[in-house]
Structure 1
Amino acid sequence: MKNIKHIFFDLDHTLWDFDKNCQQTLEHLYDKHSMDSLAGFTPVDFVAKYMSVNKKMWTEYNLHQIDKETIRKTRFKIVLSELGVSPASIPSNINNEFLNICPRRGNLMPYAEEVLKALHSKYQLHILTNGFIDVQSIKMETSGISPYFNSVVTSEHCAYRKPHEEIFKYALKNAGANAEESIMIGDNLEADILGALNAGISAVYYNPNAIPHNVRPNFEISCLSELLKIF
């Protein structure tokens, strides 16, 4: 794309394999804390419940209904209590353990590094994420993708979160870019795609699970390798 100079990527689920890294961490914690003896649930139950609760809490965070500390202080309490674990039996430090382990797992989405390596030589690459600064930076360092990026903007850098137009404006200014020469790539239809389009930025919807929708992004891909055909 001749007019594009800046490519903005979402991080979790787009480049960094959140599901795989999270699952591996949760399975480790399940074994470490002998959770099979707490309430009779399986590792599969634990992972599924965490994913459900975490997704709901992040939706609430993006809508400014809860804050960072609420997520971190209550997430595992909700997960384990809904699985039948009594409050007294919930490991007190489990969220800190999760935060120390999960971001340091380096699994990336298929073809992520190959694509970044190819695009890095032709475009300025940037991260735009609603995630928290402390863990996002660790994820990027551990997975080895930090050197590919010219800038990183998280929701903690400004008072707004995707899909709000202002965080996209902030990211553009921070990158020294304008909307017409920029494009956003992400897996979240509302936060990444509609957010970018509403800010006047072109968008590539990364939709590996073929989720039905009625939005019209500039491009839609099911694998990151398809980006090399676009750019």
Structure 2
Amino acid sequence: MVKSILFDLDDTLLDRNASVQQFIAAQYDRLSRSFNHVSKADYVSRFIELDCHGRVWKDQVYQALVVEFGIETIRWQALLEDYETQFQWHCIPFPFLTETLYQLKLQGYLLGIVTNGLGHVQNRSIDGLEIRDYFDTILISEVEQVRKPEPEIFSRALARLGATAQNSVFVGDHPKADIEGAKGVGMKTIWKQDFYWLEKPIADATIDNLNEIPAILQQFDNN
């Protein structure tokens, strides 16, 4: 019987692409008086290219933006600070997020988040989504000093929930960090389908929307 469910954050609970699009457009509107020789379309599109689906640290992204666009009236550190403090106000959830979490808690499941990233950034995103109270444990790689797909971060999360891998499920979008990592410690896996990844991982189930999870958990219990 499934007793606990662990979730990735970015691109699983948080619609990161939509959130970044909204944030970076808003950042331009707030700060472009310092670099109005750059068009909004160019600023937004280049940020997204440099960000590389979240795989490049934002300090590197902003340093590159400042150099490429010849921005001299605002430092990259100020742009980075703006990102770190303001992004949470632009966090967009995937459809059915709170409804699904509410249903899972109502059904008695233990819930956790295991995410790679910086502690203050990921914590602000969780608060921006207003979902912290649904979770019994939250592990962030910078805080834990271990990253997915390393087995230790999954094992640590399970221990804090008082759960075993055999009665736990991991939901995530990243084929290696989430699906391979969780399978490596013996957890069942649900892939939150993301067409960014060219190869589909071998997961126990695949979903397009979060509200598909409760029915899949019932299937796991019945098999």
Q: TM-score, normalised by structure 1?
A: 0.83
Structure 1 gaps of 5+ residues are 61-70
1:188 aligned residue (174, 178, 183): 174
Which residue number in structure 2 is paired with residue 116 of structure 1? 101
The residue matched to 1:142 in structure 2 has which SS? helix
Residue 35 of structure 1 deviates from its aligned partner by 7.0
1:65-214 superposed matches below 5 A: 71-81=57-67, 84-86=68-70, 88-92=72-76, 93-122=78-107, 123-209=109-195, 211-214=197-200
Residue 212 of structure 1 deviates from its aligned partner by 4.5
Letter in 2 for 1:118: Q
Q: 2: CA distance between counterparts of 1:210 and 1:22? A: 15
The residue matched to 1:34 in structure 2 has which SS? helix
Which residue number in structure 2 is paired with residue 46 of structure 1? 43
Q: 1: CA distance between counterparts of 2:24 and 2:176? A: 27
- Residues 104, 214 of structure 1: alpha-carbon distance in 2 compared, 3 angstrom cutoff: closer
Q: Quote the sequence identity (%).
A: 27
- Residues 154, 210 of structure 1: alpha-carbon distance in 2 compared, 3 angstrom cutoff: closer
Which residue number in structure 1 is paired with residue 221 of structure 2? none
Q: 2: CA distance between counterparts of 1:203 and 1:139? A: 24
The answer to whether the 8 A contact 2:93-2:129 is kept is: yes
The residue matched to 1:49 in structure 2 has which SS? helix
The answer to whether the 8 A contact 1:210-1:222 is kept is: no
Structure 2 gaps of 5+ residues are 218-223
The answer to whether the 8 A contact 1:77-1:87 is kept is: no
The residue matched to 1:177 in structure 2 has which SS? coil
- Residues 112, 159 of structure 1: alpha-carbon distance in 2 compared, 3 angstrom cutoff: same
Residue 80 of structure 1 deviates from its aligned partner by 3.8
Please list the CA deviations of residues 8-57 of structure 1 after superposition, one character each: whole Å capped at 9, or x if unmatched: 011111112222222111111212232795554443x333322332237x
